[in-house]
Amino acid sequence: MTARRAGAAAPTVWIINPNTTAAMTAGIERCARAVAAPTTTVVGVTSEIGPASIESHYDEAVAVPGVLRAIERGEREGVDGYVIACFGDPGLDAARELATGPVLGIAEAAMHTASHLGRGFSVVTTLARTVGRAWDLANHYGMQRFCRGVHACDIPVLDLETDPGARKIVTDACREAIEADGSDAVVLGCAGMASMCAPISAELGVPVVDGVTAATLTVQSLITLGLGTSKRLEFAKPAPKDYRTGG
């Protein structure tokens, strides 16, 4: 086993949607493809088990097995890298144990990316009860000094695509967030907001970061650099053991 893999010339990256709503996967895949290199194959993958949307710690917890099952399938198919396309980054540590190539969460990628654009960013998320998780992740990634505030716009995840007024509500929340926080940039706190990124940025005149596209390019870059999760210790592949599955 080598730690450094030859940078795949024509890599395949899976964008895993941890919820089971295929329509959302399609939108995510479209955004990811639009930024990936022509030589990169981007595939949106809908989780086969779990909740229709992720809006609580419970939803996130029960979404994780589906994410891991997707990673296991991807490994069998030789996938080069993965994006977990939910802003709670569910199952990220476990996914890194399973995968040979790099795995990024979209909150992770978005926060890191936004930190390169100024002194601080505001996160705009869906429901208020997800605000705490966003702060946990900011702390976990060392981004708390860049994260100026996390703001909910009180739209359920699945309404982002169907509610015709959704984009205006999110845009208004972004505008208020940068004013209140004195921020330089906005991070969109839900994979379902990916397609809103360009128009909101155009309207507000500040950089707006979507995690799906940010993570796709980060994974693509890591593959080019031949980098993946270190298998030295904590993230080595778990030893096979007896797992009892539910009935």
Among positions 113-132, residues that touch a second copy (CB under 8 A) are: 113, 115-119, 128-129, 131-132
Minimum distance, C-beta of residue 43 to a second copy, in the bound complex (Å): 19
Q: Distance between CA atoms of 247 and 155, rounded to whole angstroms?
A: 34
Minimum distance, C-beta of residue 193 to a second copy, in the bound complex (Å): 15
Minimum distance, C-beta of residue 116 to a second copy, in the bound complex (Å): 6
Q: State how far the alpha carbon of 91 is from the alpha carbons of 19, 68, 87, 228, in Å.
A: 13, 7, 11, 17
Q: Is 9 in the site for a second copy (CB under 8 A)?
A: no
Minimum distance, C-beta of residue 98 to a second copy, in the bound complex (Å): 6
Q: Distance between CA atoms of 26 and 44, rounded to whole angstroms?
A: 7
Given 30, 159, 167, 204, the residue binding a second copy (CB under 8 A): 204
Tokens, residue 141:
């990634």
**67 to 106: interface string for a second copy, x by CB under 8 A:** -xx---------------------x-xx-xxx---x-x--
Q: How would you classify the pairing of strands 185-188 and 121-125?
A: parallel
Helix (H, G, I), strand (E, B) or coil at 219: helix
Residue pair 81/102 in contact (Cβ under 8 Å)? The answer is: yes
Q: Is 108 in the site for a second copy (CB under 8 A)?
A: yes
Which one of 10-18, 22-30, 160-168, 218-226 is the stretch in contact with a second copy (CB under 8 A)? 218-226
Residue pair 4/227 in contact (Cβ under 8 Å)? The answer is: yes
Count of residues near a second copy by CB under 8 A: 98
How are strands ordered across the β-sheet holding 208-210?
A: 147-152, 121-125, 185-188, 208-210
Q: Is 12 in the site for a second copy (CB under 8 A)?
A: no
* Span 148-177, contacts to a second copy by CB under 8 A: none
